[in-house]
Structure 1
Amino acid sequence: MTLAELRYKLAPYGEAWIEKGTFSIVYKATEEGSGKTVAIKASRVSRMIKRPILQHEIRIMQLLKGHVAIPVLYGYGHLEHFEYMAMEPLGPSVAEQQKEGAGVMIKTVVRIVDQALAALQHIHELGIVHRDIKPENLLCSLEDPSIIKIIDFGISKPFSRDQPNKYDPLKERRHIIGSVYWASLNSHNGLELAPRDDLESLALVALYLLRGSLLWKPRPRLESLMRSQEIVRLTKTSYSGQDMSAGFPNEFGELLSYSRSLPFNQFPDHKALRCIFATLAEGMDYSSDTEPLDWTPCHPNFSDTTVDEPILPDHEEYEDEIYDKDKDERPKDSYWGMDIDNWDRLGNRDKDLTLPSEQEAELDNITPLIVEVLIPWCDW
């Protein structure tokens, strides 16, 4: 099978930048020949790297394609300095739509939860766990802003049916999987993640949208990651679904409680959960799903907006290891200017972020190749 070869040109410097992530930047670009506008996700990585992150993400998205919540992919290329992924442009994220400190209309949160549950059912039925559900990864479609798309499958992986692996994040000085603010308790406790953990993160997203905040605060920028993880873990452990949903429909707290109650290898009943929220919407006489999502800010009146934060002793186990650049054995940068400023050096992705080799080859064979990305403001 001969794959199509794609060429793209990034938009002019002041118009190109769409989003910056931890390991990548998303740009607006135009496809040569068709003139189609696309989003290009770029991650700086050497051709010597055999297991780059975006290649894995492309494979996962090819596996999941066909569902309305999965963005349309156009192509992938691993060129000399970067790997690139081309996909449909998307609108603002749920995080961007919410006004800072304000809640979101209950009817809007119900519709977001329903769409996310349908998407997670599709993802989980194909044997994948997302592992990083958060408002920043739920985006509105450009064509129909009432449709929610899920992005960022870079750390998604097949989930195990065996007993979960476990580690101690604090003693082993390891980061938890996902984002600290949205991660499940299992992630904080070092347990391998399963579909139940995607549901728990979705429940936290829903409660955040309703309340405008959660009971654990975003951590100070200069605080050690070990300390941040432990403070958030202890705070999350202290509050049940019922506590978190006080003043709102019980269904949202029940979603959190249900996700936390599931054994590792039990598949969630997505359909039953969707029925629960459909009944809630019907009981509250909410309008049709065809109407635009209502992002009118709400200011809920509840008393538990502040909590006593756990106080950890000053101890070395809560502090991060100090980075010693003189002992860094990774290849040194050979790039210049904005390249060094905007991208971290990346190595091979973890081996557990891997599909069966035959499946990877099959997915690679259906992905059009990006053979050139022209960057107008660079001369290399």
Structure 2
Amino acid sequence: MKCYDNKPASQSYQFLDKLGEGSFGYIWKVKQISTGQIYACKLVKNSMKKEKTLLQREIKILHLLKGKKGFTQLITSGQDHKNTYFIMNLLGDNLEQVRIKCGKLDTTTILNMGQQMILLLKELHSSNIIHRDIKPENFVVHQEKLHLIDFGLSKLFIQDGKHLEFRENKGMIGTARYASINALKGNEQSRRDDLESVGYLLIYLFMGTLPWNNIMAEDKNIKYYKIQRMKEAFKPETYINLPPELPKYMEYVKRLKFDQKPDYDCLENMFKKGEDFNRSPKLQIQQSHLQIKSNLLHLKSVERAQCLTSRKSLNQLENTSRRITFEDLSSAGADIIEELDKDEGITLKNLSVGIKQPQVINRINKVRTGSDQIFEIENKLKSNQLPISLKQLE
């Protein structure tokens, strides 16, 4: 499939719903007008110079992953005088959505997820790419398989045939809740950091929380330091109900040296329990409790005033997903700018982005409560509104 579309976007795709935000930029659900096929679109304003360059670098990473199973696949990309964007395949629910719908996941499911995550990182790292933002929102379920998405913070760790050199004081890149200890220190990241983040992620999915989830601090650097110290003191083997494979996994990845190649086969086998080693694992999500109580159902009884109050408190609580947030990328500016200065850009064809807009737009507002649960409030605009412009959507 072509990676560039010569047709004006208004003749190719129709924007349907805003799905959310990635590590930067907005994610939209779009329909290819000629075929009716549904895709996802990520776009940023050209006036956002740093974000635009990050988007271009993500497109470059997606070119390297073209045709590889388990990753976002680039369909086409382009820009006009206002926006730069790319079209990719639309996959299923992410693991945070799965956790909310299903509640606590059982040991078999967690180990199966771990096995698939290792296989994905093995493939990613074999392409000389590190992800640097491993978290539940960046793993999605599609056809009983996990897929890794959002390469906005990814980086080539092999350059000119050589491994990156270790450096300090680069600034934290990623999401603090799942970031490695070295990432929180602001050190250069490598393959070991992606793997350490997987460990925190699996523990979170099993326990439903992490000891440092609700750390509060006025200064982000103080917050990062507090989380770093808690992770340094964290001993997963002391948690009685935690699957024993997870402490063993964390012990291994924390011993890895900066430029050391991990033994992916050993890590994968840690998560296998009497399975056929030649069989490709399929994801079977099972809950620890027979009765499912989706948190979304309780939202119906919440009054609008309560929702607004919760939304006002959102800025005071931890945001672990989506855009360049307090906990994601705000402290990494100097490092990112330096990387962008060195990074080779790509050329995009000039496309007209006069997207035909639908008459009904779904807006998803994220509300985080003190118990760290996410609720989705869907507000639909009146169907008799005129189509809105791309500028209004931005």
1:14-33 Cα shifts (integer Å, max 9, x gaps): xx111223522111112232
CA contact (8 A) 1:93 1:140 kept: yes
2:384 pairs with 1:374: no
CA contact (8 A) 2:169 2:186 kept: yes
What does residue 287 of structure 2 align with?
A: 296
1:249-296 Cα shifts (integer Å, max 9, x gaps): 321111111111101010111112112222x354xx9xx867652242
Question: In the TM superposition, what is the alpha-carbon distance from 1:54 to its structure 2 partner?
Answer: 1.2
Q: How many residues in Structure 1 have an aligned counterpart in Structure 2?
A: 309
Indicate how the Cα distance of structure 1 residues 3 and 83 shifts in structure 2: closer, same or farther if over 3 A, else same: closer
2:46 pairs with 1:36: no
1:313-356 Cα shifts (integer Å, max 9, x gaps): xxxxxxxxxxxxxxxxxxxxxxxxxxxxxxxxxx9963425887
Letter in 1 for 2:96: A
What does residue 206 of structure 2 align with?
A: 210
1:23-81 Cα shifts (integer Å, max 9, x gaps): 22111112232332111112223397796211111110110222221122111112222
1:288-312 Cα shifts (integer Å, max 9, x gaps): 867652242459xxxxxxxxxxxxx
Indicate how the Cα distance of structure 1 residues 17 and 45 shifts in structure 2: closer, same or farther if over 3 A, else same: same
Aligned residue among 192, 199, 202 for 1:196: 192
Q: Once the two structures are aligned, what percentage of the paired residues are identical?
A: 25
Q: Residue 230 of structure 1: SS of its match in structure 2?
A: helix
CA contact (8 A) 1:155 1:353 kept: no
Aligned residue among 277, 289, 296 for 2:271: 277
Q: Which whole-Å CA distance do the structure 1 matches of 2:119 and 2:19 have between them?
A: 27
Structure 1, unaligned stretches of length 5 or more? 169-173, 300-346
Question: In the TM superposition, what is the alpha-carbon distance from 1:247 to its structure 2 partner?
Answer: 2.4
Aligned residue among 182, 187, 193 for 2:183: 187
2:166 pairs with 1:164: yes
Letter in 2 for 1:247: N
CA RMSD of aligned residues (A): 3.2
What does residue 90 of structure 1 align with?
A: 91
Indicate how the Cα distance of structure 1 residues 293 and 218 shifts in structure 2: closer, same or farther if over 3 A, else same: farther
Question: In the TM superposition, what is the alpha-carbon distance from 1:152 to its structure 2 partner?
Answer: 1.0
Q: Which whole-Å CA distance do the structure 2 matches of 1:368 and 1:107 have between them?
A: 47
What does residue 147 of structure 2 align with?
A: 149
1:326-345 map, 5 Å = none
Q: Which whole-Å CA distance do the structure 2 matches of 1:152 and 1:249 have between them?
A: 29
What does residue 173 of structure 2 align with?
A: 177
1:220-235 map, 5 Å = 220=216, 223-235=218-230
CA contact (8 A) 1:98 1:297 kept: no
Aligned residue among 222, 234, 249 for 1:255: 249
Q: Which whole-Å CA distance do the structure 2 matches of 1:71 and 1:217 have between them?
A: 28
1:45-56 map, 5 Å = 45-46=46-47, 52-56=53-57
Question: In the TM superposition, what is the alpha-carbon distance from 1:193 to its structure 2 partner?
Answer: 0.2
Question: In the TM superposition, what is the alpha-carbon distance from 1:378 to its structure 2 partner?
Answer: 2.9
Letter in 2 for 1:155: L
Letter in 1 for 2:230: T
Calculate the TM-score normalised by the size of structure 1: 0.72
What does residue 337 of structure 2 align with?
A: 350
Aligned residue among 9, 33, 49 for 2:13: 9
